Structure 1
């Protein structure tokens, strides 16, 4: 099997994992109308823009870009019509297979952390990453992509995601792949967690058992103890026992600390 074919197969599998975070999201119809009232241009230009930029709003349930803006054609080589309502798997065209692989693996780790947080904390968890952006015509630039969840449903699930892509070649002309998670829930002690997975960094050995790891993965996806027990075919007490064992083995006090440690050590695969 060629390296390119192997990359494609592995990326497809990772996309399937990512889909588990949002494919069953309920829909709050009020959010659909509210998204059309939200003004992005002024906010971006006053606060975020440090270079030429474009932006995307993704509907996490349908996995499509529902709105795009900024200098779309200048930045990507594609027209707004080509990208609006397109599946955001089309973003696979925006970088090299190697960087795409690492990026989608890192995205999976981000969502593990995101859904491990209490509902009220999730709005303050976001990500940023830098990479080589490939335009439609084959030219490229060093991109900074900042991602945050715009709106949540009543259960605390992310509904719309906002991605701002900025050309930072004037700041750093050599493209480098970096991925960071920012947690600002404690304004006096913000967490800035680097995430590098797959081809970027090797996974550390796990101090927890395979069955405990599976429970950890499902809890990190925001699933309740009852749902996990049903999915794994075990009792709720067994799920709680696994959770307690992981706290002891990993020397943490709660799931937020455990998930943060799992991200840093590369335990999610």
Structure 2
């Protein structure tokens, strides 16, 4: 495996620090370490997973380790599922990322996810959220692939803090057309449709492009052919406010016009 200049252990320490700041260990009453999922133990389902293009994992947020990882991770990445299990599992997972991507995840993306975990305690809403990110992964043979990972909380404790998180990860090398790390937070509405509430892209280790929920709402409407006047009326804001948001988005993304901005946002998955 490729060696990193800063070492994966350092990135893992950063990850643990961010966990402790947002989700103190004392908050949890039940570790759910022995939680069993009948479906995951079903032989037919296991057979389907072995041939699936998507890797499935279950992460214990209290123990900070995976309690399940589908066998097909070895077929896709070359890494054995056993390496992801136990107390060193997350450290191993981080070690498979290039150092610049490990830094983005431990210093930017994971803290953002944990902040959403904490912010949704009062409204008991965290299970409605989906966190999607892209990153490069170094396979066991040293080759590099692009992956997309989606996370969502599947079980919480009595304080509505996350106990178990499910991940679905796929190889997207054949469709990834740039070298940027993308991150999107989406929330499922009452019609069971996901709406993006936050989006960011990291073209380089030192540059981040992010759009607020309001900016995404405006961008989504503009992509449907709505004029600034129409957008203002639909969102009950002034046309001047729409203009300012659009100007800010153009500056953030370094695009020349709205058409380029919309194309950029669609390609990043910020809007649909």
TM-score when scaled to structure 2? Answer: 0.61
For 2:190 and 2:207, the matched residues in 1 are separated by 29
Q: Does structure 2 retain, via aligned residues, the 8 Å contact 1:121–1:185?
A: no
Residue 52 to residue 44, structure 1, CA distance change in 2 (3 Å): same
In structure 2, runs of 5+ residues without a counterpart are 211-251, 253-272
3-state secondary structure, aligned to 2:37? helix
Alignment of 1:55-66 (within 5 A): 55-66=56-67
3-state secondary structure, aligned to 1:115? helix
CA drift at 1:7? 9.1
Partner of 1:176: 180
Aligned match for 1:111, one of 114, 120, 129? 114
Partner of 1:191: 196
TM-score when scaled to structure 1? Answer: 0.61
Q: Does structure 2 retain, via aligned residues, the 8 Å contact 1:149–1:158?
A: yes
Aligned match for 2:152, one of 144, 148, 171? 148
Residues 104-149 of structure 1: CA deviation (Å, up to 9, x unaligned): 2211012212321234211111200111111122112111101111
For 1:27 and 1:75, the matched residues in 2 are separated by 36
Q: Does structure 1 retain, via aligned residues, the 8 Å contact 2:8–2:95?
A: no
- How many residue pairs get aligned? The number is 201
Cα RMSD between the aligned structures?
3.8
More off after superposition, 15-24 vs 62-71: 15-24
Residue 189 to residue 34, structure 1, CA distance change in 2 (3 Å): closer
3-state secondary structure, aligned to 2:127? helix
Residues 140-199 of structure 1: CA deviation (Å, up to 9, x unaligned): 211110111111111101001111110112333655311111122454782341134762
Residue 193 to residue 70, structure 1, CA distance change in 2 (3 Å): farther
Q: Does structure 1 retain, via aligned residues, the 8 Å contact 2:33–2:67?
A: no
Q: Does structure 1 retain, via aligned residues, the 8 Å contact 2:55–2:169?
A: yes
Partner of 1:210: none
> Which structure is richer in relative contact order (CA contacts within 8 A, separation 6 or more)?
1
Larger strand proportion, structure 1 or 2?
A: 2
Partner of 1:77: 78
Partner of 2:229: none
Partner of 1:19: 20
In structure 1, runs of 5+ residues without a counterpart are 204-264
Residue 26 to residue 89, structure 1, CA distance change in 2 (3 Å): same
